[in-house]
Structures are given as C-alpha cells and as structure tokens.
Amino acid sequence: MDLNNAVDTLSALAHEGRLTLVRSLIQAGPDGINAGELATLAGVGATTASAQLLVLKNAGLVQSERRGRQIIYSANYEKMAGLLGFLMEDCCCSHPQICQPLQDALK
C-alpha cells in the first residue's frame, strides 16, 4: 500500500458511523451481513448506512454481493491487513519493545 492509498483508506474510516459499520462487519465475519441488519447493528437508518457503505466500498474496505433480493456486505480483510501492515511497516526501528505490546495484543 502506498501513502496516498493509506490516506484515502484512513479518511474513509475517520467518521464515527463508518467506523462503527466497519467494526460491525468485522464482527460479522467473512460471510457478511445484509444491509438492513447491518444498519440496525450500527444504530443508523438504512439510507445513512447505504451512503456510508458506499464511501467504505469506494475505499476498498467493504465489498458487497447480491443474494436474491438482499445485498450482503462483508469486510475486505485483505485491504485492512494491507493498511495495518503499512502502518506497522517502520514500527520498531531497531526498538522491538515499541511494538511488542501490540504484537502481544494481536495474538
């Protein structure tokens, strides 16, 4: 991931509603969740959720799939891993103790 892509991705997350939606999708797992249930979980209206999901989708953080009459949203774990990798790329700088608490928390 390059700097501009990271900025765009972080910009999409820099909103309380969008961050809540992404966190709900992460908790839903790789099978995803339909748009209505997602809006309910996030505590937002369907129109608001739709607008926020479009921003997240354009940033590559979520993906959608039509299943019958429903649209199922899921987190793009590969994109998120790329963002976390970019953020952690230069983390330790010869000081592994800096990142050790984070690495321990991820286990």
Q: What is the mean pLDDT of the chain?
A: 90
Domain span at 76? 3-105
Is residue 98 pLDDT above 80, yes or no?
A: no
The pLDDT of 70-85, averaged and rounded, is 93
What radius of gyration do the chain's Cα atoms show?
16
What CATH number is attached to the domain comprising 41? 1.10.10.10
pLDDT at 48 over 90: yes
Query: Model pTM?
Result: 0.84
Nearest to 22 by CA among 103, 87, 77: 77
pLDDT of residue 107 exceeding 90: no
CB 84, CB 13: distance < 8 Å: no
pLDDT at position 103: 67
Number of domains, the chain: 1
pLDDT surpasses 70 at 94: no
* pLDDT for position 64: 96
